[in-house]
Amino acid sequence: MKKINQASAGDIFGKRVAIGESFKEKGHLKIAVQCECGREGIVRVQKLVAGEANQCAWCASSERATIHGMTGTSIFNTWSSMIERCRDVNHTSYADYGGRGIRVCNRWQEFSAFYADMGEKPSKSHSIERIDNNKGYSPENCTWATKKEQARNRRSNATVEHDGKCLCLSEWAEITGIARSTICNRLGRGWSFARAIGAEASS
């Protein structure tokens, strides 16, 4: 068995193979690895040698899903697609998700945690929806929504002209420092757009 501080390109650790040389980062020895499923990552050498990181999080969750009979179910496919479009640069939707900084929270890297938080879909017409499109996938920012409900939240549907500028709500939120969800909520309560973005005093 390798010593705790030894790992080099070509070494195999369970389902993972080292694809680079080890390096130090924040006091820990790390190395690039590739899982047999093709996913790559950076992990601590100590965990590899100890057998604590011998497969990627996706494969680990897939195995647990298989054990519980969840692989291939609608909810598992939803989770898998969410992970892929945020991680896989070759995914057709990566540019709109991972490519613009949308990430899946650490807790939801595990399917079991995602399932515990979200549960089953209310119906076949529901899919996962981020409440604030500028933020990633997490329990506090996700809900189930129909396609009609999701359409209301698309960045491309929320372009507003004000003060000589025509910008989407996400851009107005960035400029004003007011969360997009807050602007939407204010508009929903009948506020003028100027008031919603703090450009005029509230009454």
Residues 50 and 18 reside in one and the same domain? yes
Q: What size, in residues, is the chain?
A: 203
Is 0.85 surpassed by the pTM of this model? Answer: no
State the average pLDDT over residues 68-80. Answer: 84
User: What are the φ/ψ torsions at residue 126 (nearest 5 degrees)?
Assistant: -90, 145
Question: Do residues 93 and 123 both lie within one domain?
Answer: yes
Q: How far apart are CA 195 and CA 54, in angstroms?
A: 54
Residue 142 falls inside a structural domain:
yes
Determine the residue type at 53: A
Verify that 78 and 145 share a domain, yes or no.
Answer: yes
pLDDT for residue 152: 59
Q: Are residues 146 and 184 in the same domain?
A: no
CA distances from 194 to 133, 153, 197 (A): 21, 20, 5
Is the per-residue pLDDT at 121 higher than 80? yes
pLDDT, tens only, 80-89: 899 989 988 7
Which range marks the domain in which residue 37 is found?
Answer: 12-55
- Flag whether 1 is in a domain: no
